[in-house]
Amino acid sequence: MGASIKIRAHEIDGQVTVKSVINHPMETGERKIRKTGRKIPPHYIREIIVSRNRRIVMEAFWGKSISRNPYLSFQIAGRKGDAITISWLDNRGNSDTATTQVR
């Protein structure tokens, strides 16, 4: 697991900066296939959950307006060695989870 999520987390003076890229198509359901004129079905991330040492520190509820392969960056309190986990769930029931250690 975690193949769709890349995470980096670095601590400076008790503040952890987390940067992540999620490989996901994020289709709105509004685009059409040129040759057929049929709409591409919606496929987007609905929920993001971030935890530090198994405790949820952030939840985000997304919609179809987020771009393909979304980049997520934020800061939280923490220290070197903490485990940062990012999980997502999309509108089709797909999900993924990845964990990294704060450096």
What is the tens place of the pLDDT at every residue in 35-81? 999 999 999 999 999 999 999 999 999 999 999 999 999 999 999 99
pLDDT at 2: 65
pLDDT at 73: 97
pTM of the model: 0.92
Cβ(58)–Cβ(73) below 8 Å? no
The residues, ordered by sequence, that sit 6+ positions from 34 with a Cβ below 8 Å of its Cβ are none
Q: Which class is 5-28+38-101 in CATH?
A: mainly beta
CA–CA gap between residue 92 and residue 9 (Å, rounded): 29
The residues, ordered by sequence, that sit 6+ positions from 103 with a Cβ below 8 Å of its Cβ are 8, 9, 10, 11, 80
Domain residue extents for the chain: 5-28+38-101
